Chains A and B, each alone.
Chain A
């Protein structure tokens, strides 16, 4: 099992001009580790971050889009994998942090902690699939995973992080959305 904060600190060193779309607990850690204009947090409903990401990936085919999803979030929109598999954007990397917990909602377990997200992704038509459980492998592979031709799906097995409540007010500010749009459309 890995620690998500450690993983995000490594991820930061590989991120340049990608649009990074992060959900809930991961988002609140990511904004502390790497607050940047090309981050996007505004989903409006749990589970939809990868759907937003698909829209970004289609809208900006020459820019890579990285989704930092949660396992609880993905379960709320599992069909997104089928849609992404069918649309098959080459610039989309979907990372799910699998800790088996609704961390943002009190730490309750997801209905089945052994769910095989990689299996679902693979059978949904996503060919580049990775599952990583140890930090050394993560450090070694994350850079190349981010550069693979998409759609890419990566399941990261992590321990539970700090439980909520967390404030998402800062990351949902409309000024952030406007700054992102301005940066993407100079």
Chain B
């Protein structure tokens, strides 16, 4: 049944996600690998000569690096899995929310069922992400299919214009 459901959900093309990110003048991607976005996003990003990829060891490092870059008016996308978001919550609380640094987090929802809302996922870890983001007062957007691509660039632009964090949840697995 799962494969039938997956086949019925429209695709999310990784290259289109990357184009949307680049259209928002993002220069750096600071990433921890995530199986959900590995093939569709991280490998193409690593091969993209117009993006500078910084591979870090753990997710909270991304917050510091991106904050430092912001003082040079350099835009960064932070790319990690929802488990990494949970790991880095204290850094997100401090660096992004309380100290009001612009921060664009693209968060892979590994294991989320295609076409199922994150809060209705059978996976506990996926189910709690949106409520935690809401509790932290962080704006969030769900990108499930290509129909959601239009959310990405405005979200990044707003984060830098208002010096606030934003969470872009990657629900569909980018192809």
Partners in one complex: yes
A181 and B100 contacting across the interface, CB-CB below 8 Å: no
Q: Which of A40, A48, A56 contacts B63 (CB 8 A)?
A: A48
Q: Give A59 to B76 CA distance when docked, in angstroms.
A: 11
Which segment of B42-50, B66-74, B138-146 sits at the interface? Answer: B66-74
Which positions 32-48 of chain A face chain B at CB distance < 8 Å? 40, 42-45, 47-48
Q: Give A180 to B70 CA distance when docked, in angstroms.
A: 12
Q: Give A48 to B92 CA distance when docked, in angstroms.
A: 11
B99 and A83 contacting across the interface, CB-CB below 8 Å: no
Which segment of B13-21, B54-62, B116-124 sits at the interface? Answer: B54-62
| Smallest beta-carbon distance A41→chain B, Å | 10
| Smallest beta-carbon distance B57→chain A, Å | 3
Chain A residue numbers with a CB within 8 Å of B60 are 45, 47-48, 51, 77
The closest CB in chain B to the CB of A82 belongs to B57
Residue from B62, B63, B72, B96 with most neighbouring chain A CB atoms (10 Å): B72
Chain B residue numbers with a CB within 8 Å of A47 are 60
Given contacts A56-B72, A180-B71, A184-B71, contact A43 B57 (CB under 8 A): no
B56 and A83 contacting across the interface, CB-CB below 8 Å: yes
Given contacts A48-B61, A79-B61, contact A55 B69 (CB under 8 A): yes
Q: Is the interface of A mostly helix, strand, loop or mixed?
A: helix
Q: Is the interface of B mostly helix, strand, loop or mixed?
A: helix
Q: Which of A43, A50, A60, A80 contacts B72 (CB 8 A)?
A: A60
Residue B115 at the chain A interface, CB threshold 8 Å: no
Given contacts A79-B58, A83-B56, A86-B55, contact A45 B71 (CB under 8 A): no
Chain B residue numbers with a CB within 8 Å of A40 are 71
B72 and A44 contacting across the interface, CB-CB below 8 Å: no
| Smallest beta-carbon distance A88→chain B, Å | 11
Question: Could you pull out 6 A-B pairs where Cβ atoms are within 8 angstroms?
Answer: A48-B60, A51-B68, A59-B73, A77-B61, A83-B54, A83-B55
Known interface pairs A44-B101, A51-B64, A55-B64; 13 further A-B residue pairs with C-beta atoms within 8 A, sorted by A's residue number: A42-B99, A43-B95, A44-B96, A45-B93, A48-B91, A54-B64, A56-B69, A59-B74, A77-B61, A80-B57, A80-B61, A82-B57, A83-B57
Closest 10 CB pairs of A and B: A55-B68, A51-B64, A59-B72, A44-B94, A79-B57, A44-B95, A48-B64, A56-B68, A55-B65, A45-B91
- Which residue numbers of A lie inside 8 Å of B, CB to CB? 40, 42-45, 47-60, 77, 79-80, 82-83, 86-87, 172, 174, 177, 180-181, 184-185
